[in-house]
Amino acid sequence: MAYETPPDDAFLADFRSLSTIGATAGGGVDRQAATPVDGQSRTWFRGLMEGHGFDVHYDEVGNQFALLQLVPGAPYLVLGSHLDSQPLGGRFDGAYGVLAGAHAALRLAGRLAAEGRTPALNIAVANWFNEEGCRFKPSMMGSSVFTGKLPAEQALQTTDPHGVTVQQALEDIGTHGDFTLDIACYAEIHIEQGRSLEDAGLTIGLVESTWGANKYEFVVHGEQAHTGATVIADRHDALLGASSLVVAAREIAEQHSTDDHMVITSCGEFTVFPNSPVVVASQVKLLVDVRSTDADVLAAADAELHRRIADIEQRADVRIERGAEHIWDAKAYDQAGMELAAASADELGLSHGTVRTLAGHDSTNLKDIVPTIMLFVPSVEGISHNERELTSDEDMLDGVRMLTEVAGRVLAGEFVR
């Protein structure tokens, strides 16, 4: 098949088309994992790639791979990110990386065919399942299963708030398969979801390491009572306990952050039972995460969080149960990949600098099993997980150029251990 190199306006047209799937009134998207609209985005991506001669397959947890075999029997360079979103999320988070990977792969296929060159690797574009973790927990589920960090059976039996399992949801949208992939290395480009690139006037971020993150599910157990008739002394208010945990998390972030190492804490996804205006809550489920660039600072903040739990239990007269957890360490990306990416940016004349990723990405998992390169493009005002999320067309196109250059060097054998 003859591969034609798509122009810049083809990327922008494809991005606009993809952004209509699950579009929200505020300019964002709502494509939660394995919902019908997520299924639509997967079908759209499949059509795009098959139309350019790629073969598309799904693995046991719904990861979607578009494959171009250039060297029979060789492993794959994988480019990718995710198409699922947060509720009322932005249209750039994840989706940009998948589409940039697709267009980089198409450009390289056209270039290799025109030059008659045989690369060292085949090329694939991945749409990882459930990176966001809003419908099914944990986040980065698909890449966690792919890298062996999470058993597939455990992931498939995970349920959403309505009791639907991952396996059933994948079957409902026709994306539960059994494909396996031999991967040699991985590269991902993503919007920064922060403002350091914009503030520094840089076009490309070379991600040098992840932040460490400890994410916990807690259940606060109290006792249901009447809000008017039950005196304060007799209450076991689960919502008071959960609220105290929120305040404690913020205080811990403020107390443990230093000039060199910041601590970020967050609480979310409150589920209050019975959630009646005249009933003291008997149970609250919530998530708490603690993040830092430094392992020792993270450990100290985490220890303080768990020390505070005992104080909260006593003050609110409740019991706090610690449930599932999802933890990743602060860890560097390959130095050779950083150098390759810097050389690529220099070759293209793109301004660049090193950054750390505060957020988790699928590359967080992939870097632990194969050589991995992670790149950022700027986010306007650092806004993300928000319908107002924005990256300029110029920055998106520069990112595609950057990823194409990086991937071309990898296909030539510059980044294989």
**303, 328, 353: which is the final residue of a domain?**
328
Range 14-24 average pLDDT? 98
Residue 417 clears pLDDT 70, i.e. is over it: no
Q: Decide if pLDDT at 253 tops 80.
A: yes
Question: pLDDT, tens digit, for every residue of 309-321?
Answer: 999 999 999 999 9
Within-domain flag for 126? yes
Reported as a single tens digit per residue, the pLDDT across 207-223 is 998 878 899 999 999 99
Instruction: Tell me the β-bridge partners of 326.
Output: 215
8-state DSSP, 389: -
Position 1 confidence tier, pLDDT thresholds 50, 70, 90: very low
| Residue 286 φ/ψ, nearest 5 degrees | -155, 165
Q: Are residues 336 and 322 in the same domain?
A: no
Host domain of residue 167:
8-211+330-411
Rounded to 5°, the CA angle 106-354-146 comes to 55
Residues 283 and 236: beta-carbon distance below 8 Å:
no
Asked if 93 and 113 sit in the same domain, the reply is yes
- Name the β-bridge partners of 67: 55, 124
- The number of folded domains in the chain is 2
Average pLDDT of the chain, as a whole number: 94
pLDDT in tens, 64-86: 999 999 999 999 999 999 999 99
Residue 5's pLDDT is what? Answer: 61
Asked if residue 269 and residue 407 are part of one domain, the reply reads: no
270 and 335 assigned to the same domain = no
282: pLDDT confidence band, cut at 50, 70 and 90?
very high
Would you place residue 2 in the very low, low, confident or very high pLDDT band (cuts 50, 70, 90)?
very low
Verify that 290 and 334 share a domain, yes or no.
no
Residue 20 shares a structural domain with residue 123: yes
Sheet holding 263-273, edge to edge: 263-273, 283-292, 212-221, 319-328
Regarding whether 230 and 83 lie in a shared domain, the answer is no
Beta strand 352-357 pairing with 204-210: parallel
Residues 22 and 40 in one domain: yes
The whole-number average pLDDT for the span 375-404 is 96
CATH of the domain at 161: 3.40.630.10
Does residue 176 lie in a domain region?
yes
Q: Hunting for tokens 């004349």 — which residue is that?
A: 349
In a domain, 202, yes or no: yes
**Pairwise CA distance, residues 290 & 212, whole Å:** 8
Last residue of a domain, one of 282, 313, 328: 328
Q: Residues 320, 355: one domain?
A: no
Cβ contact 254:265 at 8 Å: no
Residue 2 within any structural domain of the chain: no
Residues 191, 220 share a domain: no
- What end-to-end distance do the CA atoms of the chain give, in Å? 31
Q: Give the Å distances, CA to CA, from 296 to 212, 213, 293, 308.
A: 10, 12, 9, 18
Same domain for 143 and 198, yes or no, is yes
Instruction: Specify if 1 maps to a domain.
Output: no
What is the residue-wise DSSP string for 290-348? EEESSHHHHHHHHHHHHHHHHHHHHHHT-EEEEEEEEEE---BPPHHHHHHHHHHHHHH
3 is a domain residue: no
Work out the pLDDT band at 3, boundaries 50, 70, 90: low
Q: Is 417 contained in some domain?
A: no
Residue 235 lies in a domain: yes
Residue at which a domain ends, from 301, 328, 355? 328
Of how many residues is the chain composed?
417
**What pLDDT score was predicted for residue 410?**
97
Instruction: Give percent of the chain with pLDDT exceeding 70.
Output: 98
Q: Which residue has better confidence, 27 or 360? A: 27
CATH of the domain at 217: 3.30.70.360
**What distance in Å separates the CA atoms of residue 49 and residue 104, rounded to the nearest whole number?**
12
CB count in 10 Å sphere of residue 12: 15
d(CA 364, CA 209): 9
Same domain, 203 and 235: no
pLDDT tens-digit map of 175-208: 999 999 999 999 999 999 999 999 999 999 999 9
